[in-house]
Amino acid sequence: MKAKIVQLSSVAMTPMALKIRAQRDARWGEAVARKNFPDYEWQRLSYVGRRLKGSPSLLEVGPGRGFLSRMIAKGGRYARHEVVDVAEAPKSVAGRFGPKVVYRRQSVTDLTDADGAFDTVLCTHVLERLDDEELARALDQLRRVCARRLIITLPFAQPLPLPDYLHQRFDTETLEALFPTGAFTLLFKEPVTRVPWVVVEEHKAVA
């Protein structure tokens, strides 16, 4: 598998990532906040955020704590930014995900959007939690609603046995089979013994 290699220690955090990190440091204390969400996580979000060049619409699947959502919303690169997750909506959607972000409680295996509804679709750390049938449906749905650019982040080649909450292992052979036209970037943490992440990008030709 041909892949670009990125050492996260060399990735500069975006100004918004630094701002949110500082807010968490002030609230929880630096030691606790950074143990809970280490710098390499902020560097990962910063790297992925920079891959989002901006377009009329973005669907974000699996927003987690909403840090990347806020970073994206602050940049104002998308006229329409929608977030999908299986969890109930937080009390303040704007506070968690950013102003003008639309939140929907929905599964990635059953998206209700029209074909090609979003120029960009971003799915972060969701697919590894699905069984084989769900994974196939999820990929079909993500590709169906994506008009131009699909970006997916996953753990790469996790050690076996997998923990109970993970159902997929994405090694080189699996990635090449699932994403035959994909471009791959491996994000390495420090120390290097930690499981790296892989960013997969698929592009659709514009008619």
The per-residue pLDDT for range 178-200, each reduced to its tens digit, is: 999 999 999 999 876 789 999 99
At 93 the pLDDT is: 79
C-alpha–C-alpha distance, residues 112 and 105, integer Å: 11
Angle between helices 15-28 and 39-51 (to 10 degrees): 150
**Tell me: the pLDDT tens digits for 20-58?**
999 999 999 999 999 999 999 999 999 999 999 878 999
**What pLDDT digit, counting tens, does each position of 80-135 carry?**
999 999 988 887 777 788 778 999 999 999 999 999 999 999 999 999 999 999 99
CA dihedral 13, 16, 96, 62 (to 10 degrees): -40
This prediction has a pTM of 0.94
Cis upstream peptide for 191 (omega within 30°):
yes
* pLDDT score recorded for residue 207: 59
Calculate Rg over the CA atoms of the chain: 17
- Residue 206 is predicted with a pLDDT of 67
- Euclidean distance between CA atoms 156 and 177, whole angstroms: 14
